[in-house]
Structure 1
Amino acid sequence: MSDLATVAKRAGVSRATAARAFSQPELVRASTLARVMAAAAELSFRPNRLAQQLRTQATRIIGVLIPDLRNPVFTEQLQAMEIAARAQGYALMVTTTGYDASREAEIVEEMLCQRVDGLVLTVADAEHSELLVKLEQESVPYVLVYNQPDSESVCAVSVDNRQAMHQATQYLYSLGHRHIGMVAGPVAQSDRARLRYEGYCRAMEMCGLVRQPVIEMPHHTRARFELLAPWLEGPERLTALLCSNDLLALSVIGDLQRQGYRVPDDLSVIGFDGIELGELTYPSLCSVVQPRAAIGREAVEVLLARMRGEQPKIQRLPHQLREGESAGPLQRSDTDARRTVPVST
């Protein structure tokens, strides 16, 4: 079996340089790193990671906490993070909470016991998180993603959720809609949904419209038509819906179409996230696009900077509104009668 000294000799470098190529590749010149890796491949050499960890007291592992792997917004973020982390010699340890805030501290404690070097977290409520209070007492640096805390002392990578939903609401207003509502999952489990609702409320007030309470669904990504149906009847019925995420928007559209509604002729729908799936459906989903890959890359860069003892300046990443077939101009005046559609049970 080959050892590090043999690899160093084959690559024409010192043993210390060869060791550094495996433990801190970002500190090694690219041409030298390539020679060491080529020699290791030729000799079928694999570094002893456990021994490196014991020597350096660093695992080169980043702990990642997200709500749910089934939502493409998180998987696209993770793919970008994995590529960015691997380029710097780090691996990811990924865990999920299922949107259960009570599990956050327990899961992070497990990752801390694994001696992760840093954490990238999406928590339920950054402003009232016991986990974040606890982490302030720890030496492990962390970065939030998608959360948008008001405190500038907390490192967070996100878009401006309020402004993004404000823009989406104004877009519906420009299409002639005046009765606009918002659908979300359990609001207590998502500070992002609450911020987006605030943006909706501000836009409605600026447009001189009556804001509506959140139409709250029991699940973040699945709609229930019986909760939506009362808002679709009578002269004050809603003609447009904003959804707190794309999967929920797609579920809403599916329920509407099964009940005989036409999207967008009878009801316009806008999502939030901009996942690629929304462009493949019919009607294609109008959505607020978050730069998921850029958020993942930025989270890794910011965390590594914090691990080096730096205080990186963080700015909100840009969002954009992707127009789609699910949102269109108001087709009827708000006073027109509406046919009654039976609610399935």
Structure 2
Amino acid sequence: MAHRQDQLRRPSIHDVASRAGVSAATVSKVMAGVTTVKRENAQRVFDAVEQLGYRVDPLASDMRRARRRIIGAIMPEFESEFFGQMLTQLESLAEQRGYTLVAASSRESEARETEILARMHDWRVAGVVLAPVRNEHGPAAAFMKANGMTGVLIDRVLSDDAFDTVSADSASASAEVARELLGKGHRHVLVVGLGEQAATVRARLDGFRAAALRLAPDARIDVVLAETDVEPLRARLRDYFAKGERPTAVYSLFLKGTLVALSEFRRRGWHCPDDISLVGFDDAEWMQATWPAIAAVVQPVRQIAGHAMDVLFARIEGKQGPPTARLEPCRVLMRESVGAPGSGPHSGGRQ
């Protein structure tokens, strides 16, 4: 029984030192990548590590450093392709630097967001990538600042006086959408979306409206927004159309809003682009596979993640200076869901 327990016991640094015939301090140096250890001694350590199946205890190692080699990431939700792709990129970039990424979803709750940050603070994570529920002025950013946490804010942010920020250039992308729609003759456009208080929603809406009214001062821009829930948005959109409103195009500020709008079109028997045109902010595979393919604003996930991790690790390594604000350009793909305004509803369509 004692022999079996010994076999099951995780090998320690002292076991490696004994097998290699060196001190525990030498093993520690070799595992940390210190190059001053004699080559033959380092090789004996590597051989012993392989024979024993030794693994570094990250908790013990990081406790000595005061911070663990862990990066925290908090996203509003994990369901969208955007945040899923973002986490994939962040994880890969963290691992390239020898760190582990631990991710959590705030589920669009600022209270939960702050609670998760408190846990990450207790875990002594090296840094945090935060996509806030609302904007850079929420309680989560305030908690990070009050507790001296190292972090970078992404997505629903524009700039901050305490943390570096990285986001898509939503305003410029939305202005391009406005130019495309008005260039095709649209003068009555409905803008729909979620997250009334999010900085990016404001930027997308303001960018679209300003560009549209510059091009056509007589253009009518209607707006239907809800906070974070799809069902209130669905109800408001249904009420809007029930009043007899007939915009010739819809611009959705979020992926979920695109789905809600498309569902309402189908319910009413409307077809894109014959009866109404549709553009969505954020792209997804289903938008390319459906017919007609849905026009979309494609966010630069790889660039946002890359710059966010660059500035985060620079801060972790001690870089000083005022926080930076970075806006990454988007791509606008005008697919088959957009056309010139039609002459009326599709046959069989309902008003």
- Both proteins in one fold, TM over 0.5: yes
Which one has the largest radius of gyration?
2
Contact conserved, 2:165 with 2:324, CA < 8 A, in 1?
Answer: no
Displacement of 1:214 in angstroms is 2.3
Question: Could you say which residue in structure 1 is the equivalent of 2:203?
Answer: 195
Displacement of 1:119 in angstroms is 0.8
CA shift digits 1:180-230 (9 cap, x unpaired): 110012413x22212211112211221224453421246555685553245
Displacement of 1:289 in angstroms is 0.7
The 10-residue stretch of structure 1 (262-271 or 124-133) with the greater mean CA deviation from structure 2? 124-133
AA of the residue aligned to 1:317: E
Residue 15 and residue 197 in structure 1: after superposition, are their counterparts in 2 closer, same or farther (change >3 A)?
Answer: same
Matched residue SS, 1:116: coil
Pairing of 1:262-341 with structure 2 (within 5 A): 262-311=271-320, 315-332=326-343
Displacement of 1:162 in angstroms is 1.3
Computed over aligned residues only, the root mean square deviation of the Cα atoms, in angstroms, reads 3.3
AA of the residue aligned to 1:272: F
AA of the residue aligned to 2:206: E
Residue 141 and residue 169 in structure 1: after superposition, are their counterparts in 2 closer, same or farther (change >3 A)?
Answer: same
Give the share of equivalent positions with the same residue, in percent. Answer: 26
Question: Could you say which residue in structure 2 is the equivalent of 1:183?
Answer: 192
The 10-residue stretch of structure 1 (212-221 or 45-54) with the greater mean CA deviation from structure 2? 212-221
Residues in 1 aligned to 2:311 and 2:92: alpha-carbon distance in whole angstroms: 15
Displacement of 1:153 in angstroms is 5.1
The 10-residue stretch of structure 1 (151-160 or 176-185) with the greater mean CA deviation from structure 2? 151-160
The 10-residue stretch of structure 1 (82-91 or 220-229) with the greater mean CA deviation from structure 2? 220-229
Matched residue SS, 1:321: strand
Q: Do structure 1's residue 205 and structure 2's residue 213 form an aligned pair?
A: yes
Contact conserved, 1:286 with 1:323, CA < 8 A, in 2?
Answer: yes
Residue 45 and residue 289 in structure 1: after superposition, are their counterparts in 2 closer, same or farther (change >3 A)?
Answer: same
The one of 143, 149, 152 aligned to 1:134: 143
Contact conserved, 2:193 with 2:233, CA < 8 A, in 1?
Answer: no
Residue 64 and residue 211 in structure 1: after superposition, are their counterparts in 2 closer, same or farther (change >3 A)?
Answer: farther
Residue 249 and residue 56 in structure 1: after superposition, are their counterparts in 2 closer, same or farther (change >3 A)?
Answer: same
Q: Do structure 1's residue 20 and structure 2's residue 32 form an aligned pair?
A: yes
Residues in 1 aligned to 2:148 and 2:125: alpha-carbon distance in whole angstroms: 11
Matched positions, count: 329
AA of the residue aligned to 1:324: R
CA shift digits 1:64-94 (9 cap, x unpaired): 1111111111010000111110111111221
Displacement of 1:306 in angstroms is 0.8
Displacement of 1:167 in angstroms is 1.2
Contact conserved, 1:148 with 1:160, CA < 8 A, in 2?
Answer: no
Structure 2's unaligned 5+ residue stretches are 1-9, 36-41
Residues in 2 aligned to 1:282 and 1:34: alpha-carbon distance in whole angstroms: 61
Contact conserved, 1:250 with 1:278, CA < 8 A, in 2?
Answer: no
What's the TM-score once normalised by structure 1's chain length? 0.83
